[in-house]
């Protein structure tokens, strides 16, 4: 009686159990009951089956639209593998990923199709355009919408190939399985407390690690999805008020949009927010709480499906004053229920002491770890060295067992023999009222080897000089941790998933040098 684990089973349950409930709605666009949504899944699945043989790779290039969301169910339901594409890449980058994944069909939103038309033509890949002005609805209408059984599959079969964001190296194709993604989806349901009255707003790009499971999990309990193609502070607040939103996921940079005084509004109900992508700062969490958003810090990587830790709080900790509670929430916390073993380890695979000071690398082994990197056995072997998946994230473990990220391996600044955590310095800079965004990287220095350099974006209408910021940092940190250089920008570079692209800023400072360390 064993059946393969797959997130498609969550959708199957939703279609069966909640046929008349609202499944998907898009502000200014259509709405679909679970019954109607199921018909659309089956129609697109049949269309894809006619177009490509089983086991093919089908790419989707779409913002958070209802058509894009549909592909996360319909393509795997057709017996094929979905390849979500980052919406902010260039044609050569798309060409690399489509060629590397050996994609047989591309589904692209009408607004983004021009970015891949020539690439698809050159590679001989059919392109189906979705959205306004396309024939997508006619294509669906030509197919049978009656229920279609789940495909025959093994739970260790690949369901999606998700390319890494490329913040540290060339993108690699992360192969996630049906088993990986179902267990992650269940964790999402558990930790965000979804039920049939939940309304989930798609603020996180769905292509980013499959929306952290959000493309599948809410369907399992009859929740409503609100797709949001344009993610801005005003559109988020509009949706929260008009659509009855109760849940959303977002990187800390999106939390900054939500708390921007120009558009911020207090929520009419508590909205539960999961945030990850980079360590959020306590000030941001406190600002969100003040608006009625209950922030839950989670952590993971594409390679771990992605979520593996959660900053859960006890009842007593939730009752703490906001600054103390926010400081706890800003830590990555404890391993999730189904994450397996999550440890902070030394290079010889020994767990670090729980002293809040000893640095180690976060490593994982368990059911959420990817199958491997597509056609890259060398990188896979490096990632799994010693029987653990190596995250590359540097962290400490506090006496209470909480994990706290201090840096990426490459982003530790070594100045005069002292290790400086760029994340720690950024956290203090964020506490300055004029600072909207802060990224700290190593700057070459003849005397000290490296010193901290802060790239700063200020809130509109605010001013702050380097002297002001240095005085502020010096109030909280040792003198050697104070940035020695400040560079002010309107905005700092980010990936579409909200991660700051530190390597771009660091490359500016180290250009022309044979080595990137002193």
Do the domain assignments include residue 499?
Answer: yes
- Residues whose CB is less than 8 angstroms from the CB of residue 392 and which lie 6 or more positions away in sequence, other chains included: 168, 361, 408, 409
Residues 357-379, mean pLDDT to the nearest whole number: 96
Do the domain assignments include residue 492?
Answer: yes
pTM here is 0.86
The number of helices, as runs of H, and strands, as runs of E, in the chain is: 17, 25
Its sign, for the CA torsion 320, 322, 324, 329, is positive
- Residues whose CB is less than 8 angstroms from the CB of residue 28 and which lie 6 or more positions away in sequence, other chains included: none
pLDDT of residue 222 exceeding 90 = yes
pLDDT of residue 168 exceeding 60 = no
Residues 117-128, mean pLDDT to the nearest whole number: 98
- Residues whose CB is less than 8 angstroms from the CB of residue 329 and which lie 6 or more positions away in sequence, other chains included: 280, 282, 285, 295, 296, 297, 311, 313
Do the domain assignments include residue 488?
Answer: yes
Nearest to 305 by CA among 175, 412, 394, 404: 175
Any idea what the Cα angle at residue 397 is, between residues 393 and 403, rounded to 5°?
Answer: 60
Query: What pLDDT was estimated at residue 256?
Result: 87
Do the domain assignments include residue 14?
Answer: no
What CATH number does residue 418 fall under? 3.30.300.30
Do the domain assignments include residue 164?
Answer: no
Do the domain assignments include residue 76?
Answer: no
Residues 78-82, mean pLDDT to the nearest whole number: 98
Range of the domain at 420: 412-510
pLDDT of residue 167 exceeding 50 = no
Q: Tens digits of per-residue pLDDT, 284-311?
A: 888 999 999 999 999 999 999 999 999 9
What does the alpha-carbon distance between residue 393 and residue 129 come to, in Å, rounded to a whole number? 39
Distances in Å between the alpha carbon of 61 and those of 64, 94, 366? 10, 10, 30
Do the domain assignments include residue 452?
Answer: yes
pLDDT band, residue 270 (cuts 50/70/90): very high
Structurally, how many domains does the chain consist of?
1
Distances in Å between the alpha carbon of 42 and those of 4, 32, 109? 20, 14, 20
Of residues 325 and 72, more confidence is placed in: 72
pLDDT of residue 277 exceeding 80 = no
Nearest to 423 by CA among 296, 517, 332, 515: 332
Estimate to the nearest angstrom the gap between the alpha carbon of 69 and the chain centroid.
Answer: 16
pLDDT of residue 513 exceeding 90 = no
pLDDT band, residue 97 (cuts 50/70/90): very high
Nearest to 174 by CA among 388, 376, 381, 410: 376
DSSP single-letter state for residue 355:
S
| Residue tagged 């393969």 (tokens) | 4
Residues 312-325, mean pLDDT to the nearest whole number: 91
pLDDT band, residue 423 (cuts 50/70/90): confident
Asked whether 163 and 82 are in contact (CB, 8 A), the reply is no
Phi/psi for 515 (5° steps) reads: -125, 150
pLDDT band, residue 93 (cuts 50/70/90): confident
What percent of the chain is modeled with pLDDT above 70?
A: 97
Do the domain assignments include residue 473?
Answer: yes
């Amino acid at each position: 009686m064993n059946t393969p684990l797959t997130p498609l089973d969550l959708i199957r349950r939703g279609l069966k159990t909640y046929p008349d409930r609202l499944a998907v709605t898009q502000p200014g666009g259509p709405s679909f009951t679970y019954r109607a949504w199921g018909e659309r899944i089956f129609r697109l699945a049949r269309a894809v089956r006619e177009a490509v043989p089983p086991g093919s790779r089908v790419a989707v290039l779409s913002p958070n639209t209802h058509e894009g969301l549909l592909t996360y169910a319909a393509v795997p339901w057709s017996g094929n593998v979905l390849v979500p594409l980052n919406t902010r890449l260039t044609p050569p980058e798309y060409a690399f990923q489509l060629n590397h994944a050996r994609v047989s069909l591309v589904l692209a939103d009408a607004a983004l199709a021009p970015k891949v038309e020539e690439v698809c033509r050159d590679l001989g890949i059919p392109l189906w355009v979705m959205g306004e002005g396309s024939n997508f609805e006619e294509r669906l209408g030509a197919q049978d919408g009656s229920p279609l059984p789940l495909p025959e599959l093994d739970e260790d079969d690949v369901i999606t190939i998700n390319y890494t964001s490329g913040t540290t190296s060339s993108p690699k194709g992360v192969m996630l399985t049906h088993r990986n993604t179902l267990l992650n989806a269940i964790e999402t349901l558990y930790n965000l407390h979804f039920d049939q009255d939940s309304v989930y707003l798609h603020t996180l790009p769905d292509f980013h690690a499959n929306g952290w499971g959000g493309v599948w999990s809410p369907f399992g309990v009859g929740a409503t999805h609100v797709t949001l193609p344009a993610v801005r502070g005003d559109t988020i607040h509009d949706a929260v008020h008009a659509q009855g939103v109760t849940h959303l996921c977002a990187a800390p940079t999106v939390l900054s949009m939500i708390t921007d005084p120009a558009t911020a509004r207090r929520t009419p109900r508590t909205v539960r927010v999961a945030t990850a992508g980079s360590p959020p700062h306590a000030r941001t969490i406190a600002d969100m709480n003040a608006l009625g958003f209950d922030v839950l810090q989670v952590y993971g990587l594409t390679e771990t499906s992605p979520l593996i830790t959660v900053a859960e709080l006890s009842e007593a900790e939730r009752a703490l004053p906001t600054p103390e509670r926010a400081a706890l929430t800003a830590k990555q916390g404890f391993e999730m229920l189904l994450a397996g073993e999550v440890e902070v380890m030394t290079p010889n695979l020994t767990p670090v002491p729980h002293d809040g000071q000893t640095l180690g690398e976060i490593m994982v082994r368990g059911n959420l770890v990817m199958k491997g990197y597509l056609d890259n056995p060398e990188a896979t072997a490096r990632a799994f060295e010693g029987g653990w998946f190596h995250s590359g994230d540097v962290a400490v473990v506090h006496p209470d067992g909480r994990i706290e990220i201090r840096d990426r391996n490459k982003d530790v600044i070594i100045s005069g023999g002292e290790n400086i955590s760029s994340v720690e310095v950024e956290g203090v800079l964020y506490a300055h009222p004029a600072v909207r965004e802060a990224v700290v990287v190593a700057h070459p220095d003849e005397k000290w080897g490296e010193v901290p350099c802060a790239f700063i974006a200020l809130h509109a209408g605010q001013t702050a000089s380097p002297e002001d910021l240095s005085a502020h940092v010096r109030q909280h940190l040792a003198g050697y941790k104070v940035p020695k250089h400040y560079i002010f920008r309107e905005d700092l570079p980010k990936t579409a998933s909200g991660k700051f692209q530190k390597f771009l800023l660091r490359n500016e400072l180290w250009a022309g040098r044979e080595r990137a360390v002193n």
